[in-house]
Structure 1
Amino acid sequence: MTHDGGEVSGHGSGALTYATLAAEARRQAALERPKARSRREADIRSVPWWRVETLRKISGLSVLLGGATRTGLILVVCGVAGFAALGLDDWWCLLVFVALAVYGALCVCGSGGVRAKVLARAACEPDAVSMRYALVYDPPWGGAALLVVFPVGGDDEVRPAGVVELVPMPLHRSARAGGLPADLPVEPVGDLELSGRTPELPLGVPWIDGRAYWPKRSWGPDALRGEEGRALLARLLAEDAEDAEDAEDAEGVACVADVGERGASVEP
């Protein structure tokens, strides 16, 4: 990959345009990866933010509830059987659950709760901007899900307008994902709407087919011109370039083998 005047170009794949990233998204979508079913969340437009599982996790409310619930259960046991019934391991568990509850409370009252509320408000903003997207993974096999967005009115040679790294989606408990994020239930390329764009959320919250996908990080147009943004864009086609080189090498080996077979078949 090379960086020339702030623009990123892919070795063997041309410039990073909608055409090349859409092709990479389709290539990655065809890879065999562990499958897991994502669980449908409550619609933030019709419920309070704490009813949405991903926002509960972002805020720290899930940790608070889990720690407080387990602490309460241990205290109930103590009230029935007495504290003398607790062994050393039980006291350690009680200490851990109390610590989790305190940590969760600090998150909810601090940056975690603030971010969850900001995302909830952004997702409910009425004015949304229509964009095209290409869904790619960083790294390509089982990495973080990235929505690379492009203007709707541009041609296939238009450059990315931004990138959204998505929070992993909640999974069904019975799903076996092998520790990797579940595939998103969306096409590798398509249309989306971005709502609630602010300086702290340069691309807002993506909506695809009436479902919100929560951003973990966002790179707007200005951020993509920086060093971190250029490095991110360079990684998106790194695997594609390696595959192209491997294919060229394999083709060359096949040609050499074919020539060798033809030479061996010639009678002296």
Structure 2
Amino acid sequence: MIPLTHPTVQRLLAIMDQKHHWAYPALTRPGLTRKQLLVHFQHEYATYVRDFPVLLARALGQVPDLPDVRRALAENLYEEQTGGLSKSAPHPELFLRMMEGLGFSRDDFEESALDRDLHEAAASYKQWLRARSVESPWQAAVALLTIFVEGSVNERAELEGSYVRRRGEDAVKHHALVVHYGCPPSAMQLVRAHGDVEGGHRGDAWRIVLDHTKDETIAKIVVETCMDALARWQRYRDGVAARLGIERDHSLTAAPPVVAATR
């Protein structure tokens, strides 16, 4: 069990509570055009999906002789780059198969075209992730990738046990791309793979933070890195929403919770 009253856990969960963008509901219901869907997924792929195994490798490369941490990150990297744990395929490849299920071409996700058309906020976030993944302390790089990037707004509820994400065929059957946009379930291997392995990776991520951020200075940097990530991620998602032509309805948007200050 992860102790939710631990000061660093509390601060990180306060950040994850805010990892919900105001435009997200528009992506989970019908009404988007094919062009809007394509722009959204092109940005997701170019900003972090395509290179996430590389980011993990960069962070792993600076971890000192700590076998438990190296093993956990290596297993995560192995799954992301090969699909070996879930008996599937590399996760970037599974993403492209999902895109093909929506009727898009792999040519739509060619690196040169994607990087040329990235919104400037997305390009900035992408480059920051690459730079931060190899900066010390290693604990901040690992927390950034395994807690913030891989985590979601449901992090607190999952740790509390009050929220259980759908898995397997149940997750596929209820996924917005299947329900609203006609993606065939056979193309949703990425969703199945996430369900097979994500629980273990989440536990590993939080245990690494608890076991290796006992120094208050390190803990402060970890929290501040994830706070920075949240601000950059929000700007990135704002940029994509602008590209999609989605306007914010302030009357339906609650004020975000306050992030706990670091000492």
Q: TM-score, normalization: structure 2?
A: 0.24
Give 1 or 2: higher strand fraction. 1
Q: Which has the higher contact order (CA 8 A, sep 6+)?
A: 2
Give 1 or 2: higher helix fraction. 2
